Structure 1
Amino acid sequence: MGLTSASSVARLGVFGGAFDPPHLAHVALVQAAAAQLQLDQVRVLPTGQAWHKTRTLSAAADRLAMTRLAFEDQAEVVVDDREILRSGPSYTVDTLRQLQAEFPQAQLYLLLGDDQRRSLASWHQIDEIGRLAIMCAAGRDTAVKAWSNSGPSPSQPLSDAIEARIQIMNMPLMPHSATDIRVLVATDQAISGLVPPAVERYIQEHHLYRPHR
């Protein structure tokens, strides 16, 4: 979509992630948030240098291209490449500060998958994040354990002040995990119905997630 003027955006959603690859649960989360929170715009931001990831992410250009394909049909979404272009580690707090300066009249809503919510206590300057944005989390099927394989421990407790600011969005639990999707591709199994068709084609055409031979 075209960029709307800052003055016309009163409610701005912010959704970051590796998007390696973006999948249908990501799309569903943004759709649910846009409807339930009455968001004027949602900024979807593929991460750049992820300080909390123990594995090497796929090339930023591929993740950005897939993210654009995944959200191309959502009129309220702007895929924002600022974190990819930023040098050094990608910190959500820096992005929120920038967006607040660009949209001074807007209330920011930080959209979180359940795995992200579980690791919030370890996020850089989490108290400042809580001041800058209302945090809105979506549930995910508890059978999905992708968060236990990488990133910070999900058992770290949040402060009461931060916990109180988290809103839970009403959306169906979706057992989609980027980790699982990468494994399926690497083992020549189907991913139809897990990622948008355009993303599936991109993965196939660019031979992503295949084991090196």
Structure 2
Amino acid sequence: MDKYVAKTAKTPSLVLMFGGTFDPIHHGHLRCALELTQVLPVKKVHLVPCQLPAHRSQPSATAEQRLEMLNLAIAAEPLLYGDDRELLRAGPSWSVDTLASLRQDYGEQQPLAMLLGWDAFLGLPSWSRSERLLELAHIIVLARPGQMHEPAEEVLQLLDKHELQAGESLNASPAGRILRLSLPSSFEVSATYIRRLLANKQSARYLLPEQVLDFIHQQQLYQSKH
């Protein structure tokens, strides 16, 4: 158990928001989500496929296909939940809107946290209504050794003001703190790499669940257009 997040009977469990294109969902996403429930006091992880990514290209698979793959992958994990709220919302998928929606669902006192990779966190000041994010939720930053570029001054100020300190508990307050966390496995799997393998008619087995791979083949997804 992490020294920052010891669970006690007096503190509620966290609700986590884990967003992404999930195009397709793979073992990197799934292992990360599962390990979060093992190292943090978590009662639910909302895996939220985005409709229109604000900072990257449009997904290859449809919203319905990506949600179906997600649900196939997490069917046996009771703490993981496929959340379609961004797919049902028109326009770009802004994290602040999703957090506001989750906050409305769970109430003002529920500890709520958004998961970000280190590189995404470095770009946080440029996000839509970024100042509102920490009013709505905590931020958990997944740090991977060897991939940690130096933060800009604005990000350093955020860490100085909001980073969780030793002896503090992330689930002791509803929002407002930043936790840098390294997960035990921290292995890299890229959806881009998986799509490239499939486009080249090469095997992607063991990079994503078999039921997801079967669905991809049934739907003829990620095939080369040439």
TM over 0.5: yes
Structure whose CA Rg is larger: 2
1:76-135 deviation per Cα after TM superposition (whole angstroms, max 9, x unaligned):
112110100101111010010111111013111112234533443332222211222221
Change (3 A) 1:202 1:118: farther
Find the counterpart in structure 2 of residue 62 from structure 1: 65
2:33 pairs, out of 22, 30, 34, with 30
Change (3 A) 1:96 1:208: same
Change (3 A) 1:121 1:197: farther
Alignment coverage as a number of residue pairs: 195
Change (3 A) 1:68 1:140: farther
CA distance in 1, matches of 2:155, 2:117: 19
Find the counterpart in structure 2 of residue 106 from structure 1: 110
Find the counterpart in structure 2 of residue 196 from structure 1: 209
Shift of 1:156: 6.9
CA distance in 2, matches of 1:98, 1:189: 40
CA distance in 2, matches of 1:155, 1:167: 14
Spell out structure 1 runs of 4+ moving beyond 6 A.
none
Q: Secondary structure at the match of 1:34?
A: helix
Change (3 A) 1:72 1:125: same
Amino acid at match of 1:212: K
2:155 pairs, out of 145, 152, 159, with 159
Identity of aligned residues (%): 30
TM-score (norm 2): 0.78
TM-score (norm 1): 0.82
More moved, 23-32 vs 104-113: 104-113
Unaligned runs of 5+ in 2: 1-11, 164-177
More moved, 200-209 vs 161-170: 161-170
Amino acid at match of 2:185: P
1:138-184 deviation per Cα after TM superposition (whole angstroms, max 9, x unaligned):
245758xxxxxxxxxx8773523433323213222212011111111
Shift of 1:71: 1.3
More moved, 54-63 vs 66-75: 54-63
